Amino acid sequence: MAEYDHYVDGEWVAGAGEDFESENPATGETLGTFPQGTASEVESAIAAANEAAEGWRDLSYIDRAEYLWDIYHELRDRHEELGEVVTKECGKEISEGKADVTEAWHMVEWAAGNARHPHGDIVPSEIASKDAYMRRKPRGVVGCITPWNFPVAIPFWHMAVTLVEGNTVVWKPAEQTPWCGQIIAEMFDDTDIPDGVFNMVQGFGDAGAAIVEGDVDTVLFTGSAEVGHEISQQVASDPGKNTACEMGGKNAIVVTEEADLDIAVHSAVMSSFKTTGQRCVSSERLIVHTDVYEEFKSRFVDLAESVSVGDPLDEDTFMGPVVDESQIEKFHRYNDLARQEGAEVLVDRAELDDGEIPAGHAEGHWVGPFVYEIDYDTDLRCLKEEVFGPHVALVEYEGDVDRAIEIHNDVPYGLAGAVVSEDYRQINRYRDRGEVGLSYGNLPCIGAEVQLPFGGVKKSGEGAPSAREVIEAVTERTAWTLNNSSDIEMAQGLSADIKTEE
C-alpha cells in the first residue's frame, strides 16, 4: 500500500505527525497511508508561502495562468483515473466522481481564461483631468480548508482564482479524501510552479486550526456550520485577516399547485438522494401544495423505495454509501428525532437488509432513503437542522405560494432552493422572496456551475469562498486616481489653494 507525504515548498516531506489511513467507504478497504499534519508542517508551509509571495505577484496574470493551464490539461488527461479515486474515497457514484473532476477543470479554465479579461473598472471623475480606476491587488497568503464531498472541485473553487490573482496557497484537504489531495499536489508538482506558491498539508481539524491561527492573510473554508462559524469568529478578532466561509443548508423544494409533477418528482429525487444526500445543497424538505400533495407523495415514495443503493463504481447505482460511521450515527439520530417529533414515516430504508448490500461490501457504510411526512411547526428541530443524508420531510401547505415561501424561509440556513411551477408569477415570487444564495426554477436545487457565484445567506455563508466570486475574498481593491494636469484640482468644489499668512 502506498505511503504519501505533504507537499511543502516544492518538496515532498514526511513531517513529524503520525500516519492515518484513507478508507473506501463502500468496502472498508484501506486506500493509502498519509501523514497527519501538525503545527510544525503548517508553519513551514505558511513560511514558504510567505517567502514565495513577492516573486509570484510580480509575474503577469498571463504567466501565472500558464501553470493553471497545465493543471487544466492534467485534469482532463487524468479524468477517468481521478474520477475513480474520488468515487473510491468518498463513495459518490461514478458519474458524480467524474463530474467532480470536470467541475474542477471548468473552474481552472474560468480562472486561467479570466487572466486575459479586463480586471477592475475605469471610473469617471468629476475633474476632467483625472483618471480614476478600481484596481485589485493580491492579499498574500491564502489558507484553504476543504471538505470531503467535492474533493477535487472545491479545492479548485478555492485555489484557481486565488493563484491567478497573485496569492500563494496553503491547502489542507479533508481527512477523508487525502488521496485526491495527493493527486492534485502531484499535478502542481508536474507544472514546476515556483516553490512555495502551492503547498499541501494533509491532516485533521487541528492542522486546519493551525492554518487559521497562522500567518495567513485570508482563510477560505467550506464545510460544516459549526467549524465555519468558529473560524470566522476567530479571524474577525485578528485585524488584517479576512475569511470567506461556505457552510451547510437545510434546503427545500417548493412544489406548487401549478407544478408539472414529472419535473417536481424528478427534481426532488435528484436533490434529496444524489450523493446520498451529502451535498451542502441537498434538499431535506419538500414543501408541497395540498392540491397535488397526494399524487406527489405517492410518486416520490415509489421512487424512494426503489432508487438503487449499491457499489458506487457500478454505473447502475444511484446512491453509494455515506462517508463514514459518524454520518450513519447522525442520520439515525435525526430519523429518531423526526419520529419523536411526530413524523409519519413513509419510507424506511435507513438500515439496509443484508440482501441489499452489494457482495463484498459488508464493511461499507450503508444507508438508504428515510422519508416522512410531518405537519409544519416552527419548533420542529427535524425541519431546521441539517442532517447531511437521505433524510427527507414532506410538508403539506395550503394557500398561496407566500405560505410555502414562509415555511421555506423558516430555517437558520439559506444556501439553495427550488420552486416547481408552471405559473411564472409563483416562480418570480419565490425568486424574489426565497432566502437562499442559489435558487432554481423547475430544476433540482443541486448542480451549480462555476461561472455563477456560489454561496449562501444567513447561517449558510459569509462571503463566497467558491467559484468566480472568491475574487472578492482574495484581493484588495484600490481606488487609484491619476492627475493628468500640472494643476491640482479637487472634487466637490474643495479649494486647492494653499493660503499663507501675509
Binding site for ligand ADP (CB under 6 A): 145-148, 172, 174-175, 204-205, 208-209, 212, 223-224, 227, 230-231
Query: Is residue 336 within 8 Å of residue 363, measured between CB atoms?
Result: no
Closest CB 70 distance from ligand ADP, rounded Å: 26
Check 23, 175, 246, 396 and give the catalytic one: 246
Q: Which residue has the closest beta carbon to ligand ADP?
A: 208
CA torsion, ordered 18, 28, 223, 87, to nearest 10 deg: 120
Pick between residue 147 and residue 196 the one whose CB is nearest to ligand ADP. 147
Pick between residue 166 and residue 277 the one whose CB is nearest to ligand ADP. 277
Closest CB 1 distance from ligand ADP, rounded Å: 22
Query: Is residue 8 within 8 Å of residue 40, measured between CB atoms?
Result: no
CA 200 and chain centroid, separation: 18
Sign of the CA dihedral 317, 454, 24, 392? Answer: negative
- How far from 497 is each of 50, 95, 112, 500, 501, CA to CA, in Å? 45, 70, 48, 9, 13
Pick between residue 223 and residue 249 the one whose CB is nearest to ligand ADP. 223
Check 280, 284, 396, 469 and give the catalytic one: 280
Q: Is residue 356 annotated as a catalytic residue, yes or no? A: no
Rounded to a whole number, what is the distance in angstroms from the first to the last CA of the chain?
88
The amino acid that residue 417 corresponds to is: G
Quick one: residue 140, left, alpha or beta (phi over 0 = left, psi -120 to 50 = alpha)?
Answer: left
Closest CB 154 distance from ligand ADP, rounded Å: 10
DSSP state of 310: -
Residue 41: Cβ-neighbour burial (10 angstroms; 0-12, 13-18, 19+): buried
Cα separation, 119 vs 127, whole angstroms: 23
Pick between residue 83 and residue 214 the one whose CB is nearest to ligand ADP. 214
Closest CB 231 distance from ligand ADP, rounded Å: 6
Closest CB 170 distance from ligand ADP, rounded Å: 12
Pick between residue 147 and residue 358 the one whose CB is nearest to ligand ADP. 147
Residue 151: how many other CB atoms lie within 10 Å:
29
Pick between residue 154 and residue 419 the one whose CB is nearest to ligand ADP. 154
Cα separation, 159 vs 168, whole angstroms: 9
Give the containing element (helix H, strand E) for 297.
Answer: helix 290-306
- How far from 146 is each of 62, 126, 176, 224, 278, CA to CA, in Å? 27, 45, 11, 10, 15
Residue 309: how many other CB atoms lie within 10 Å:
23
Q: What Rg value do the Cα atoms of the chain yield, rounded?
A: 25
Closest CB 278 distance from ligand ADP, rounded Å: 8
Q: CB neighbours of 8 closer than 8 A, spacing ≥ 6? A: 41, 44, 45, 48, 199, 200, 201
Pick between residue 237 and residue 484 the one whose CB is nearest to ligand ADP. 237
Query: Phi/psi at 16 (nearest 5 deg)?
Result: -95, -15
Pick between residue 229 and residue 403 the one whose CB is nearest to ligand ADP. 229
Q: Is residue 246 annotated as a catalytic residue, yes or no? A: yes
Closest CB 423 distance from ligand ADP, rounded Å: 37
Query: Is residue 57 within 8 Å of residue 353, measured between CB atoms?
Result: no
Active site amino acids: 246, 280
